[in-house]
Amino acid sequence: MSNSYGNLFRITTFGESHGAAVGVIVDGCPAGLDISLEEIQHALDRRRPGQSDITTPRKEEDKVTILSGVFEGKTTGTPIAMVVNNKDQHSHDYSHIAQAFRPSHADYTYTAKYGTRDHRGGGRSSARETVARVAAGALAAKLLQHHGITVQGYVSQVGSIKLQKPYQELDLSQIDSNKVRCPDGATAARMIGVVEEARDSLDTIGGVVSCVVKGVPAGLGEPVFDKLHAELGKAMLSINAVKGFEYGSGFEGVKMRGSEHNDQFYTDEQGNIRTRTNHSGGIQGGISNGQDIYFNVAFKPVATILQPQTTINDAGEEITLQGKGRHDPCVLPRAVPIVDAMAALVIADFLLRQKANKV
Amino acid sequence: MSNSYGNLFRITTFGESHGAAVGVIVDGCPAGLDISLEEIQHALDRRRPGQSDITTPRKEEDKVTILSGVFEGKTTGTPIAMVVNNKDQHSHDYSHIAQAFRPSHADYTYTAKYGTRDHRGGGRSSARETVARVAAGALAAKLLQHHGITVQGYVSQVGSIKLQKPYQELDLSQIDSNKVRCPDGATAARMIGVVEEARDSLDTIGGVVSCVVKGVPAGLGEPVFDKLHAELGKAMLSINAVKGFEYGSGFEGVKMRGSEHNDQFYTDEQGNIRTRTNHSGGIQGGISNGQDIYFNVAFKPVATILQPQTTINDAGEEITLQGKGRHDPCVLPRAVPIVDAMAALVIADFLLRQKANKV
Amino acid sequence: MSNSYGNLFRITTFGESHGAAVGVIVDGCPAGLDISLEEIQHALDRRRPGQSDITTPRKEEDKVTILSGVFEGKTTGTPIAMVVNNKDQHSHDYSHIAQAFRPSHADYTYTAKYGTRDHRGGGRSSARETVARVAAGALAAKLLQHHGITVQGYVSQVGSIKLQKPYQELDLSQIDSNKVRCPDGATAARMIGVVEEARDSLDTIGGVVSCVVKGVPAGLGEPVFDKLHAELGKAMLSINAVKGFEYGSGFEGVKMRGSEHNDQFYTDEQGNIRTRTNHSGGIQGGISNGQDIYFNVAFKPVATILQPQTTINDAGEEITLQGKGRHDPCVLPRAVPIVDAMAALVIADFLLRQKANKV
Amino acid sequence: MSNSYGNLFRITTFGESHGAAVGVIVDGCPAGLDISLEEIQHALDRRRPGQSDITTPRKEEDKVTILSGVFEGKTTGTPIAMVVNNKDQHSHDYSHIAQAFRPSHADYTYTAKYGTRDHRGGGRSSARETVARVAAGALAAKLLQHHGITVQGYVSQVGSIKLQKPYQELDLSQIDSNKVRCPDGATAARMIGVVEEARDSLDTIGGVVSCVVKGVPAGLGEPVFDKLHAELGKAMLSINAVKGFEYGSGFEGVKMRGSEHNDQFYTDEQGNIRTRTNHSGGIQGGISNGQDIYFNVAFKPVATILQPQTTINDAGEEITLQGKGRHDPCVLPRAVPIVDAMAALVIADFLLRQKANKV
């Protein structure tokens, strides 16, 4: 069950980096939703390798096929299976790591867990698994769109370059206007410089994706263990390379006094209940309050570097490993659609769960 | 199901702040574990209100009763139900908030979700629910103890006072040596000052709990969605007032290069596989690697303050609300046993899950 | 998790026959449902021992207490915990079976599974566990009542005495008019004779409970694995002593030709879609079709008999065991409210699940 | 989630009768199991249409492809996706039923549930879905084989022709020796006659599959709701056309006295604990006792008949429907591998669950 996420809008993914295919079954997507293959493909294209010179130059088309659950352009309520065949496999690239435990990769931990592993390109631990999430997330986003909800992730930090503006001062329509997916042009340029520098040093660099979810009605999220932000946190932390999650005032908020931090309620001119500040990040007691939801996700630098590193092999012997092949110097630009997908899946699940809460 | 946590070691909690009782059913605790009521009570005593002059002066004994699942001092494999009756209810204290939507509380969101709420002391949204977690966590800790695993949480930040030493330089046996539960005496004294200042200003202050888990064997955690740190994150974010979670290098790690961040493997003199640094926080690819697991949890300042605040009532009308009663100026000292409990529950669940991974 | 049932309307039970209490947490009961303690107690009273001279003469009051989840007479959406203390324990009655593996009881299998067991009165394997189901079922029945759905179980067979009339020819308001809970007076009299004969022979006898569910709208039940009748079957088979389940035409239907068995659709004068026959038992493809749902549940004779039996003890040695105490010669009359409860829980869960199936 | 089955050994299926493919993801299959494509294909071949003149003459090769989770001939612990493409679709055959609600099919109930349906060949409600179960069941059977457990289903009744011998008197190696899969040659001949008669009358006939599971160790099955027989019952009832389930003494057992029905324990010469009779069907208190598990599954006659039938269309108007195409006059012979698959999946899941029951 560790390959499934969601309670009512539930996905189950499969596939290794260099196996035949990766894919997903979406179970619980309501019937009657309009679906076009193009929308799903569009989401995958945002995640695709080779989309710019600051991502891996691997060319993978990642063409998605829908095998079930859609009839005459609409969902039928039955499981929607989607598959992306693995084309650009180059399995020979990986023979040199068959016995190696690469530093800060999952080679050792998979072996410790299962007594075996598919070493080709990281097997199941590869970020290629997120293809399945992005395809499923595109379906979830369609459901959200039907309810007037939008999810917008963007890169807010690369290395030490941090976007200083809060999301309210940004033009989020500009996220895809540059290759690093930061909606502030000047900051984007500096971020790109940092990525290029890392790339040219045969190194990698980390960063932060911020995400804003607008239009969520008050009442989503389940109290106690399945709080809205707890599920968002789990979903984000389940993405490869993520090291931290915070929402609303986050880690900075701990320095505040209650009298500063509390979000005062008022009734606006349309009679809507709103808050004057939003340190709560749109969530109180684990349940959405109708204000914008926003959160940050920290990504470590990619572990695969093109420099020699000392490590051990599966016999415990010290070896020197030299990364090769085509890898991302910075995962952030391609992480944006993955964050978007997981956020959409979380909200879609809570939308369906909330339907069961009234007599 | 939002009141349950865990897959194989699974807890389900119940109870409102001012109802008859709070409690928990633990389902899946293996048979044959020695259990004494004292151990569970000890954990509850660490969480108990009124334990020092920097926590709420409410006097609640929180005496736990075991109703099932233990026979002749040992678990039997059947569900273990534990109940703590609510003694110090003072329901009249809360009549003034029956119609109010308190700022940054869950009054409004519960009403939006359910169309109703038990307003007495926050009802189900009260941190009193964590009594049930702590009782269940004490059972989980017993299972961990059997496997040589320890969980040690401590306060590492209050307001802007931040413990500068990493956990390796601390004497974790000193956590309970002072009332703020910071194992560094000098820092503890400064933190206590900050809490007292907040209390005396009729205000509240936030902070950070750090936690170290030692002795976890390599191989725990499930890849993809149920990564070990993703479940830890969800578990921590499900605690009242938590705003953020990070593990290993966390948000700071995003500034690092891959060549700095990667944890080099080596084989120690006893033939154990280890890493020279531990930016990974003991987890790689979502699976424990045998090194120490460590993480930080951010808590916002308590929302209940003893100052007048402007807000609205459930008719949408502006009102002024004056907090009264006995509340915590800083939740951090009492949050430590809750963080410990949730961490123990997460690890216990993965211990059981890992048993099913071999033919 | 084996002590939980249901997906959205979910119960978790606890308690041993001779422990402190038995009880249940109902998680997912929608907010706003009127609940009175009397209704729950009424259901428990139908299950209570000592209600007639053909059931066990044990006197257990089985008074239920609600600990949470109900505020001012209505459900709040939070978990509803209910507890029944064990009064009439007589633990000394059971010392003679502490080491024995009673024939066709669960003493041996619990020991094989857990390496230990609470031998007092069968511990967790006792039918006393069904107290919790009946209390929870009463809540489910309230939800069904709100939707115009009724569940009516009755005894249709005791030993070889079988009620020949189909349910359509019975007056189901007469179920509780006699102590065996068969709505046909003449048959009831014969059944009572059979039970008395078994009782007077220090023996026990089996039987069948039939159940009719009316008012279920078309569309409940989930295709594939969670078919409506598959969940009904699981729920019934989970009741102590049940050996079989059939719905609609059941085992007799296998002898029919398709041309006889098929239920022809027509539109009635009110424009409702109906079927001329109902061999389908109100369920087609695992989903309700709006017709009456009906099914049969087979109960074996109670294993505890007041005659000497040869068996072994936990050292594997042959022993002679003489049942004593106060036991049911026939479980059927008291099984009716348990069947009703489980059926209500199944339908309530599907009612909530169906809410999530539309965009 | 209604398209998933199992807790730790968990399958999720997808696919419509006339969509692109049907398939399954198996999540939780332990690492290190030897798998050959041939074994899976062999199981599918037993289910395949067109295998004899008493099944549908449709020619479907049902060639299975493994997309993930197997590396160098062994399972890796990651999800195993298997796909069977739909070849012989003949979608034009089904245009005549696009608007019809076929009697005793799921056309009406799917429409009531989802507001839409894929009408081609029954869409998701088609028994073609069981291809996925059989493929997954073959994996489960490999795990069982590793533990010395065998599952053997056979046809024990067709129409009124009932195999009189208990399974102990049958040579179960002869199950596949005839086309009806009844291991008793003389009875098989009579059953085949009944099927041919039904087929030649353009009609269909029901029957019973019996199944024996040998080698299950004592201790499998979880008490209370997930009793071993309750899950077997759910799994069997989830198969298309199933109307009833009984195990051990079943519906006949209700006529017995406790003194007859109780299975007396003894210790055999090898020191094994056994029972002299096995009315319990190898399960006591929901947990296996080490004796053979056996049960019966009732199948109704196939709903598709080649005779004109009166029904209604989705406008509620009366129409006459004439079945055409190539259909099974009796589903029983092809149901045997499906019963085997579901039984194997149930036992495999409990094998894994039992691993978590000891400290």
pLDDT tens digit sequence for A37-55: 999 999 999 999 888 888 7
* B32:D358 CB<8 A: yes
pLDDT in tens, B230-268: 999 999 999 999 999 999 999 999 999 999 999 999 999
* Burial tier of A128 (Cβ tally within 10 Å: 0-12, 13-18, 19+): buried
The Cα–Cα gap between A258 and A249 comes to: 12
Contact D28 B356 (CB under 8 A): yes
Task: Look up the CATH superfamily of A4-357.
Answer: Chorismate synthase AroC (3.60.150.10)
Predicted local distance difference test score (pLDDT) of residue A13 = 98
Q: Residue B116: closest CA among chain A residues belongs to which residue? A: A358
| pLDDT confidence band for C90 (50 / 70 / 90) | low
The predicted pLDDT at position C324 comes to 75
pLDDT, mean of residues D183-204: 97
Please report where in the chains the tokens 């660490």 appear, as a residue. Answer: B46
Grade residue B90 by pLDDT with cuts at 50, 70 and 90.
Answer: low
Look at the pTM and tell me if it is higher than 0.95.
yes
Alpha helix segments (H runs only) across chain A: 37-47, 107-114, 130-146, 185-200, 228-237, 258-261, 332-354
- Note whether A10 contacts D: Cβ–Cβ < 8 A: yes
Question: Looking at CA atoms only, how far is residue C136 from chain A in angstroms?
Answer: 16
Chain C residues closer than 8 Å to A223 by CB: 78
* pLDDT score of A274 more than 70: yes
Q: Which residue does chain D place closest to C299, by CA atoms? A: D254
Give the pLDDT band of residue B303 (cuts 50, 70, 90): very high
| Test mutation, D99, D261, D310, chain C, max C CBs within 10 A | D261
The residue in chain B having the minimum alpha-carbon distance to the alpha carbon of residue A132 is B224
Nearest residue, CB atoms, A4 vs list D15, D27, D67: D27
Structure tokens at D204: 């269909």
Is the CB of residue A238 less than 8 Å away from at least one CB of chain B?
Answer: yes
Q: Do B68 and C115 touch (CB under 8 A)?
A: no
pLDDT at B91 > cutoff 70: no
**Alpha carbons D27 and D136: distance in angstroms, whole number:** 10
Read off the pLDDT of residues C283-327 as tens digits, 9 standing for 90 and up.
999 999 999 999 999 999 999 999 999 999 999 999 999 877 778
Nearest-angstrom CA–CA distance, A263 and A260: 8
Query: What pLDDT is recorded for position B165?
Result: 96
Total beta-carbon pairs less than 8 A apart between chain A and chain C: 40
Task: Say which amino acid occupies C272.
Answer: N
ipTM above 0.90, yes or no: yes
Contacts of A226 in chain C (CB under 8 A): none
pLDDT of residue C1: 74
Contacts of B352 in chain D (CB under 8 A): 356
Query: Residue B28, exposed/middle/buried by CB under 10 A (0-12, 13-18, 19+)?
Result: buried
Q: What is the pLDDT of residue B83?
A: 98
- CA closest to B68 among chain C residues: C15
Per CB-CB distance under 8 Å, the chain D contacts of B356 are 8, 28, 30, 352-353, 355-356
Pull the structure tokens for residue A345: 């899946």
Which residue from B1, B83, B116 is facing C31, i.e. has the nearest CB?
Answer: B116
Asked if C6 and D226 count as a contact pair (C-beta separation under 8 A), the reply is no
pLDDT in tens, C271-295: 999 999 999 999 999 999 999 999 9
Tally the C-alpha atoms within 13 A of residue A214's C-alpha that lie toward its C-beta. 6
Of the listed ranges A88-92, A335-339, D196-200, D323-327, the one predicted with least confidence: A88-92
CA-based radius of gyration for chain B:
21
Name the residue among B30, B223, B357 with its Cβ closest to that of D358: B30
Q: Is the pLDDT of residue A92 over 80?
A: no
Q: Report CA-CA distances (Å) from D358 to A239, B66, B352, D208, D216.
A: 33, 21, 9, 38, 18
User: A51: burial class by Cβ within 10 Å (0-12, 13-18, 19+)?
Assistant: middle
**A326 against C20, higher pLDDT:** C20
Contact D264 C103 (CB under 8 A): yes
pLDDT of residue A229: 98
pLDDT band with cut points at 50, 70 and 90 for residue A94: confident
What average pLDDT does this structure show over B47-54?
A: 87
Restricting to B residues 254-313, those with a Cβ less than 8 Å away from any Cβ of A are: 254-267, 271, 273, 275, 279-281, 283-290, 296, 298-305, 307, 309-312
Strand locations in C57-162, DSSP E? 64-66, 70-71, 74-75, 80-85, 100-101, 150-158, 161-162
A294 sits in which H/E element: strand A293-299
Residue C342 pLDDT exceeds 60 = yes
- Interface membership of D1 toward B (CB under 8 Å): no
Q: Is D189's Cβ below 8 Å from some Cβ in A?
A: no
Calculate mean pLDDT across residues B7-26. 96
Q: Chain B residue with minimal CA distance to A105?
A: B284
Of A345, A344, A336, A309, whose CA–CA distance to A324 is shortest? A309
Q: Give the C-alpha distances (Å, rounded to integers) separating A290 from A269, A273, A280, C32.
A: 16, 8, 11, 22
Annotated ligand binding at A125? The verdict is: yes
Residues of chain A with Cβ-Cβ distance to B218 below 8 Å are: 108-109, 112-113
Residue D327: per-residue pLDDT: 84
Q: Is B316 on the interface with A (CB under 8 A)?
A: yes
- Interface contact C358-A28, CB threshold 8 A: no
User: Nearest CA to CA, how far is A344 from chain D (Å)?
Assistant: 18
Q: How many whole angstroms separate alpha carbon B160 and alpha carbon D165?
A: 81
B81/C15 touch (CB, cutoff 8 Å), yes or no:
yes
The pLDDT assigned to D322 comes to 82
B145-156 average pLDDT score:
98
Q: Which of residues 58-117 of D touch B (CB under 8 A)?
A: 77-78
Q: Sorting pLDDT into bands at 50, 70 and 90, what band is D57?
A: confident
- Taking contacts as CB-CB distances below 8 angstroms, the residues of chain B near A285 are 105-106, 109-110, 125, 240
Of B13, B32, B81, the CB nearest to C14: B81
Are C357 and A143 inside 8 Å of each other by CB?
A: no
For the segment A157-168, what is each residue's pLDDT rounded down to a tens digit? 999 999 999 999
CB contact under 8 A, A356 and C357: no
Tell me the mean pLDDT in the region C257-277: 97
Q: Which residues of C touch D156 (CB under 8 A)?
A: none
Q: Do D123 and A78 touch (CB under 8 A)?
A: yes
* pLDDT tens figures, A228-252: 999 999 999 999 999 999 999 999 9
Which residue of C lies nearest to B79 if distances are taken between CA atoms? C14
- In this complex, which chains have at least 3 CB pairs below 8 Å with chain B? A, C, D
B-C contacts at Cβ under 8 angstroms: 152
Distance, in Å, from the CA atom of C26 to the CA atom of C79, rounded to the nearest integer, reads 5
Look at residue C92 in the predicted model and tell me its pLDDT: 59
Residue pair C220/C213 in contact (Cβ under 8 Å)? The answer is no
